[in-house]
Amino acid sequence: MLLFLVAGYESTSTALTWFIHHISKYPRVQAKIKAELGDNKNSRLSIEQLDSLVYLDSVIDEVLRFVPPTNGAARTLTSDDQLPESGVQLYRGDQVFIPFYNLTRDKRYWKIDPELFYPERFDGEDKSHDAYALIPFGGGHRQCIGQDLARLELKAIAARLMQRVTFGDGGSEVNAGGHKQQFTIVPKHIGVTIKYD
């Protein structure tokens, strides 16, 4: 359990920061989340109620797509392989880097412009995207063991915030976005206003 908490702390808090940044920039998205919460504005949400918040799931998926918690993952090949498009030969023991950020912005994998922050993509045209175009927690048998806990934490905290506050854009200078690469993709300039509902 300690591994879950320690390993997930930075990536979850970073994803939550990006969530706040994006909903402050897109009031329409924030309003749809609040509408989905409906009459549950001041009550504790059960797991069943959290599960019913499908638009919030789409927003979280879009936040994780737009800025994955980490830039990618390094892997060691266990057998010889060849890159399909270039024909480059790879050998067992070679190190390869899987660029999560680049996959989420690659137009070959997304029908709707991947440079747009658009949560509705997961309800429509991009619902059936390539499974490996969105792997914020890695993929396959080496994916993050704590991803379900991280998603639940993100959703519960985001829902609770949306029950209580409205985030506004703090202005182009202080809420400019941008990031620096550390263990996670850390936001540089996030400044929002908070209005208690």
Model confidence over 50-80: pLDDT tens digits?
Answer: 999 999 999 999 999 998 888 888 889 999 9
Domains (range + CATH), the chain: 2-196 (1.10.630.10)
For the stretch 88-108, pLDDT in tens is 999 999 999 888 888 888 999
pLDDT of residue 40 exceeding 90, the answer is no
pTM across the whole model: 0.87
Mean pLDDT for all residues in the chain: 86
Annotated binding site: 144
Annotated binding site for heme: 144
| Of 56, 34, 51, the residue nearest 197 (C-alpha) | 34
How many angstroms separate the Cα of 73 from the Cα of each of 21, 81, 143, 180? 25, 18, 10, 17
